[in-house]
Amino acid sequence: MREESLSVRRKIYRKICALGERFLPDKLYLEMLYQVRMGEKLDLKNPNNFDEKLQWLKLYDRKPEYTIMADKYEVRKYVEEKLGESYLIPLLGVWDSVDDIDFSMLPEQYVLKCTHDSGSVLICKEKNTFDIQSAKQKLEKTLRTNYFYPSREWPYKNIHPRIIAEKYMTDESHVELKDYKIYTFGGEPYLIQVDFGRFVEHKRNLYTTDWQYIDEEIEYPKDPSVQIEKPESLGEMLECSRKLAEGTVSLRTDFYSINDRIYFGEITFYQEAGFAHFSSEEFSRKLGKMIVLPQSKL
């Protein structure tokens, strides 16, 4: 009976969240959305696990610089100041509107993405077969969307929506770029998540900072049979992460390793928007303990 009641409640909350996405107070919205997405009550007074603490940070840890760090164009200046220009993937252009893009001037291969979201990546591998019209439609739709509202990820709220083009690059696979996503807590690297096979069958392996495999999962399945070699430049990558995360409570900094050279990917404040499903509650709580919330706001 309790499971049935929970199911009914989740359906009601899902409807309310859909209708009131732009109007409900942030705290109430997140409390309902958490039940919808996670099937549990959100405890903001005494948050314990990883997801709960990220929801708390969404509400109570809001700094103007987070908008810059989440903006895929503006963050380049931040990275250049902290690390240097050599860590940036070459920029091919930045535009306010799809109509401003002269596709004929772009190279044979390139990557398009919007500056204010996560997921609008469009990859052109062959210029003569790239569907420009479809790309324009997707980008136009993305530009009209404020990605703060669906999950209340505050850093996205005030980003100026633009489109950027970057150089297309691959790692040793010649197919994709493996993402080395470094979780930092209090500015210190703690966990490395490696995403691979994203365009075939998305997998995700976890490692300690000294490259010991962690037999756990966060949202996507692991594959221990895939032996991901420790990057030669791991120490440098960790130091870059440390510099970018300075002064933050919880942050994920993403990098690529190409021919033993490190390139910056992006900065993420809330893994899976704070709705990550873990293989075990114990692991979720272990990561949650690493997030030390500001006492002045508790």
Strands 91-95 and 261-268: unpaired
Q: Is the dihedral of CA 168, 172, 173, 177 positive or negative?
A: negative
pLDDT at 76: 98
pLDDT at 296: 57
Give the torsion through C-alpha atoms of 258, 260, 265, 267, to 10 deg: 160
pLDDT > 50? residue 1 = no
pLDDT at 173: 63
Six-digit token pair at 183?
A: 């979780």
Task: For residue 3, count CB atoms less than 10 angstroms from its CB and return exposed for 0-12, middle for 13-18, buried for 19 or more.
Answer: exposed
- Enumerate the H helices of the chain as residue ranges: 2-19, 26-38, 50-60, 64-70, 75-82, 132-143, 148-151, 234-244, 281-290
Query: Whose structure tokens read 């940036």?
Result: 88
Sheet holding 261-268, edge to edge: 213-214, 203-208, 188-196, 179-185, 250-258, 261-268
Evaluate if pTM is beyond 0.85: yes
**Phi, psi torsion values for 141, nearest 5 degrees:** -65, -40
Average pLDDT, whole number, for the chain?
A: 93
Split at pLDDT 50, 70, 90, the class of 223 is: very high
| Rg, C-alpha atoms of the chain | 20
pLDDT > 80? residue 136 = yes
260: left (phi over 0), alpha (psi -120 to 50) or beta: left
pLDDT tens digits for range 61-101: 999 999 999 999 999 999 999 999 999 999 999 999 999 99
Share of the chain above pLDDT 70, in %: 94
- Count of CB atoms situated within 10 Å of the CB of 79: 21
Whether the CB-CB separation of 286 and 200 falls below 8 Å is answered with no
pLDDT at 118: 77
Q: What is the rounded CA–CA span in Å between residue 27 and residue 252? A: 23
pLDDT > 80? residue 176 = no
Q: What is the rounded CA–CA span in Å between residue 40 and residue 43? A: 9
N residues, the chain: 298
pLDDT > 60? residue 4 = no
Share of the chain above pLDDT 90, in %: 83
